[in-house]
Amino acid sequence: MDKIKSDFKGEIINTETIAKDVCKIDILSPLKTAIAGQFISVLCPNTTLRRPFSIANFENQTITILFKLKGEGTSYLKKLKKGDNIDFLAPLGNGFTIENKKSLLVGAGIGIAPMLFLKNTLDKKNIKNYLITGFKSEEEIIKGSDKTIVGGSVLDYLDEIIKSENIEIIYSCGPTPVLKGISNISKKYDIPSQIAMEKVMACSIGVCRGCVIKLSKNNETINASVCKDGPVFKGSEVIWD
């Protein structure tokens, strides 16, 4: 029986440096399905634990991931060349639930990765969308957005866009302060938000409870694992520390 989720072997078919310390790799594998917001968990021979990466695109059996050079896991990935093999678990977690609504997509830094996949998906479905992303400096810009902010915070631009574009739903990925801000803005305008969270993971498939966050559901506080219950959560349900 073919299992949808599995431990895959893939082949690197393209590697590219797309911004300062940011690389893109394309992986050809037998993976059959993946949606924006889901991730893969890569076996890195030089680290104890696997490393999770958001899927930045999935087309023609090819997964694209983007990563920022940060530590030992990403330094392994950076060294991979066309033709090399890679071992990964996929497709992991729950992705974005797409709604036929005017969508605002907000990506901060490398958080742009799942937003690019989501934008691609929305475009294919002819759902009107607007992607805004923010980066610390010019040289760190990853292309593909409708609006790019350098320095400052993407949050400062959202009021205007929500009004002028008649936004009905927000999707976002980025550091916690940005996601918290998105959650507040969606409350202010009473529009739904879906946010992709990040946390250090051990198992990446929901068993170890290492990456839990707290959610408020039906007035009860519950734990949810970022890797299996997430990484995408409703912004209104996340309890911020």
| Selected range binding another protein among 14-22, 29-37, 99-107, 207-215, rule: CB under 8 A | 207-215
Interface of this chain with another protein, residues 218 to 237, rule: CB under 8 A: 221, 223
At residue 52, the 3 state secondary structure works out as: strand
Residue 201 interacting with another protein (CB under 8 A): yes
Q: Quote the least distance from Cβ 228 to another protein, whole Å.
A: 8
Could you tell me how many helices (H) and strands (E) the chain has, helices first? 4, 14
Residue 163 interacting with another protein (CB under 8 A): no
The CA-atom distances, in angstroms, between 236 and each of 91, 179, 232 are 25, 11, 12
Residue 69 interacting with another protein (CB under 8 A): no
Cβ-contact 29, 8 below 8 angstroms: yes
| Selected range binding another protein among 14-22, 41-49, 131-139, 160-168, rule: CB under 8 A | 41-49
Measured between alpha carbons, how far is 92 from 83 in angstroms, rounded to an integer? 24
Query: Of the candidates 18, 150, 208, 239, which one interacts with another protein according to CB under 8 A?
Result: 208
Cβ-contact 215, 199 below 8 angstroms: no
At residue 213, the 3 state secondary structure works out as: strand
Cβ-contact 6, 91 below 8 angstroms: no
Q: Quote the least distance from Cβ 188 to another protein, whole Å.
A: 28
Bridging pattern class, strands 85-92 and 62-68 = unpaired
Measured between alpha carbons, how far is 159 from 171 in angstroms, rounded to an integer? 15
Residue 194 interacting with another protein (CB under 8 A): no
Number of Cα atoms under 13 Å in the Cβ half of residue 150 = 7
Bridging pattern class, strands 212-217 and 6-19 = unpaired
Residue 239 interacting with another protein (CB under 8 A): no
Residue 138 interacting with another protein (CB under 8 A): no
How many residues sit close enough to another protein to count as binding (CB under 8 A)? 27
Measured between alpha carbons, how far is 208 from 204 in angstroms, rounded to an integer? 8
Residue 206 interacting with another protein (CB under 8 A): yes
Q: Quote the least distance from Cβ 146 to another protein, whole Å.
A: 32
* Beta-carbon count within 10 A of 138 CB: 11
| Selected range binding another protein among 9-17, 149-157, 159-167, 201-209, rule: CB under 8 A | 201-209
Q: Quote the least distance from Cβ 6 to another protein, whole Å.
A: 7
| Selected range binding another protein among 10-18, 28-36, 46-54, 136-144, rule: CB under 8 A | 46-54
Residue 27 interacting with another protein (CB under 8 A): no
Residue 207 interacting with another protein (CB under 8 A): yes
Residue 13 interacting with another protein (CB under 8 A): no
Q: By the criterion CB under 8 A, which residues form the site for another protein?
A: 3-7, 43, 47-50, 89, 200-212, 214, 221, 223
